[in-house]
Amino acid sequence: MVVTVSLNPAVDKTCRLKAMEPGAVNRLISAESVAGGKAVNVTKVLRQFHIPVAAVGFLGGSGGTLIGEAVEKLGAECHFTKIAGETRTNTNVLDENGGVTELLEPGPVISDKELANFLKQFTGCLENCELAVLSGSLPEGVPVDIYARLIQLCHMAGCKVILDSSGEALRQGIQAGPDLVKPNRKELEYLAGRSFKSREEIITAARKLLAFNVSRVVVSLGSEGLLWVEKEDVYFREAKQVQTVNTVGCGDTVVASLCMSELAGEDAETALVKAVAMAAANATTRENGSIPMETYLELL
């Protein structure tokens, strides 16, 4: 079983319009709300491939109810901690020219008691889990070192960890030695404290993370592809070119694919081929974390 951690999940509201005009009245063609957030998207993909999943995190209000019901419908085990605050809504605005504008809410405030209840749920799930996926931002009230603490609990339970976050939560999480880290270029530049001008600079920055007992770093380069960095080897796989509908959730799809490759014991090259194909397939659909299987297999 895989445990997915959603500390700051969201209802993903996707709005479509002809063209986005800042500062003007914009009339939508359509609007649709689905369960989202990085770890929830990972859960959706894993369940499509029939991987057993236990989903944990914080849920509150009507948005939390929507997400909880959606995760249960996927067939995942739901061990979310109920909170007094309201689960946030993230709005993705898609225009007909392929532009994507994301409006991300900050999320609820988590109390000390709610955090303690979550840690109890999380620790209980580790007894039956082989791999944990820690994804996404942190809501207010959750300490910035939370991922580092969760990684330590995972290692004590003999559970492998994939970390996909940003900012200081990512920096501190890395120091606890997750098995795999998946930053995008911007997140890696934040860790390095500078921008990169070449792929060699990206590789050098990724290798520095290995000093914290990280086994491998997979850097998402968007439309360019994926870069896999280990102590001795580096692998790169170009992104597949597709008719893009929505790129939101492609990084989460990569994480889900890497998770399945880790469980299957696949080598780096096989894992990258699958992850690139799955991310491209995800980009051809409107809903985040929904993989059209025919497209995926064709790309693969």
Give the span between the Cα atoms of 279 and 216, in whole angstroms.
19
Give the span between the Cα atoms of 205 and 231, in whole angstroms.
12
- Is 252 designated active site? yes
What are the beta bridge partners of residue 5?
56, 134
Half-sphere exposure of 10 (CA within 13 A, CB side): 24
The pair of three-digit structure tokens given for residue 87, joined into one six-digit string: 């689960």
Is residue 278 within a helix (H) or strand (E), and if so which, with residue range? Answer: helix 268-283
The pair of three-digit structure tokens given for residue 223, joined into one six-digit string: 């439309």
Catalytic residue among 12, 95, 252, 267: 252
- With beta carbons less than 8 A apart as the criterion, state whether 148 and 173 touch: yes
What type of residue is 267? D
Nearest residue to 281 via CA among 227, 233, 245: 245
Half-sphere exposure of 274 (CA within 13 A, CB side): 17
3-state secondary structure 154-203: HHHCCCEEEEECCHHHHHHHHCCCCCEECCEHHHHHHHHCCCCCCHHHHH
Nearest residue to 155 via CA among 191, 118, 130, 136: 130
Nearest residue to 16 via CA among 119, 110, 99: 99
The pair of three-digit structure tokens given for residue 83, joined into one six-digit string: 């909170």
3-state secondary structure of 254: helix
User: Would you name the residues annotated as active-site residues?
Assistant: 252
